């Protein structure tokens, strides 16, 4: 689909409301501040809206009520669909929970790289025990707005690694990034996939043994160097689609 320059550069906002032609969608106070104060958008300016289910829609900033400055959050008027909702079958990311800033970075990059589910896990060497799930969802939402993605990946609550492995779905290959391992790159293939990245310091010996005993786990190496956990997550996610293991179906 060909867009005009004005639409292509219009800000994108995630909304929880259903989207259809003629629907009025209220902006949140934060979105209203972003449009009016940060971006200085005027009445009639285009805005792109998505909700993770109905595709992307063109909407317009409304005129001020009664000719005066609007104090309340505006109601955006939806005009037409500009992108249909694609099927997004991205991989899952399983990663050992990190300190706050590193975890934030992992989630942001995972969204940009098409991950469909994020599963933080607790390992023997995990250096964090809790996470602000609301904060992570906000980061994921913001990343989706910026990278023009139409879905928001599910972000699960942290669980012990062994518990995640015990309930792992049949048919989804789990590629475990094991540093200092003499393993080959994954064989090309098709199907559902996931990447597992350990904590700083790597997996404990017992965890490595547990992983090698699981039939759905395939150890992989991300190169000759020892990577930071957040770097390993991005490198591994970039590797999977190159090998054919992550199927993405989208629109442009």
As a whole number of angstroms, the distance between CA 174 and CA 192 comes to 9
Do residues 13 and 47 touch, judged by C-beta distance below 8 A? Answer: yes
The encoded tokens of residue 131 equal: 């996470």
Cα angle value 114/120/126 (rounded, 5°): 135
Local structure of residue 54 (DSSP, 8 states): S
Can you give the pTM of this predicted structure?
A: 0.85
Instruction: Say yes or no to pLDDT of 250 above 60.
Output: no
The encoded tokens of residue 207 equal: 């965890």
Query: Which regions of the chain carry the CATH code 3.40.1280.10?
Result: 88-248
- pLDDT tens for 102-156 read 999 999 999 999 999 999 999 999 988 788 999 999 999 999 999 999 999 999 9
- The residue with greater pLDDT, 36 or 67, is 36
Q: What is the pLDDT of residue 188?
A: 64
Q: Which of 16-25, 31-40, 218-227 has the highest mean pLDDT?
A: 16-25
12 HSE (CA, 13 A, CB side) = 22
pLDDT band with cut points at 50, 70 and 90 for residue 249: very low
| CATH architecture group of domain 5-82 | Beta Barrel (2.40)
Sign of the four-CA dihedral 132, 138, 144, 150? positive
- pLDDT tens for 54-108 read 999 999 987 766 554 445 567 899 999 999 998 877 899 999 999 999 999 999 9
pLDDT band with cut points at 50, 70 and 90 for residue 9: confident
Local structure of residue 66 (DSSP, 8 states): G
Pick the CATH number of 88-248 from 3.40.50.970, 3.50.50.60, 3.30.465.10, 3.40.1280.10: 3.40.1280.10
Do residues 62 and 75 touch, judged by C-beta distance below 8 A? Answer: yes
The answer for residues whose C-beta is within 8 angstroms of residue 61's C-beta and 6 or more apart is 35, 41, 42, 43, 44, 45, 47, 74, 76
As a whole number of angstroms, the distance between CA 53 and CA 153 comes to 12
pLDDT band with cut points at 50, 70 and 90 for residue 181: low
Q: What is the pLDDT of residue 19?
A: 96
What's the chain's average pLDDT?
86
């Amino acid at each position: 689909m060909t867009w005009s320059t004005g639409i292509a550069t219009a800000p994108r906002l995630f909304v929880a409301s259903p989207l259809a032609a003629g629907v009025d969608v209220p902006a949140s106070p934060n979105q209203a501040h972003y449009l009016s104060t940060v971006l200085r958008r005027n009445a009639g300016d285009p805005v792109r809206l998505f909700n993770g289910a109905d595709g992307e829609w063109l909407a317009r900033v409304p005129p001020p009520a009664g000719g005066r400055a609007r104090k309340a959050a505006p109601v955006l008027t939806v005009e037409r669909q500009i992108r249909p909702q694609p099927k997004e079958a991205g991989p899952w990311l399983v990663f050992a929970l990190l300190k706050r800033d590193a975890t934030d970075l992992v989630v942001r990059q995972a969204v940009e790289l098409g991950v469909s589910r994020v599963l933080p896990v607790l390992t023997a060497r995990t250096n964090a025990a809790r996470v602000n799930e609301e904060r992570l969802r906000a980061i994921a939402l913001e990343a989706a707005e910026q990278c023009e993605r139409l879905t928001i990946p599910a972000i699960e609550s942290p669980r012990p690694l062994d518990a995640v492995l015990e309930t792992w779905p049949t048919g989804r290959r789990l590629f475990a990034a094991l540093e200092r391992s003499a393993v080959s790159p994954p064989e090309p293939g098709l199907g559902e996939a996931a990447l597992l990245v350990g904590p700083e310091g790597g997996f404990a010996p017992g965890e490595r043994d547990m992983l090698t005993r699981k039939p759905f786990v395939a150890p992989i190496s991300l190169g000759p160097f020892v990577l930071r956990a957040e770097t390993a997550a991005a490198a591994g996610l970039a590797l999977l689609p190159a090998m054919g293991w992550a199927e993405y179906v989208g629109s442009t």
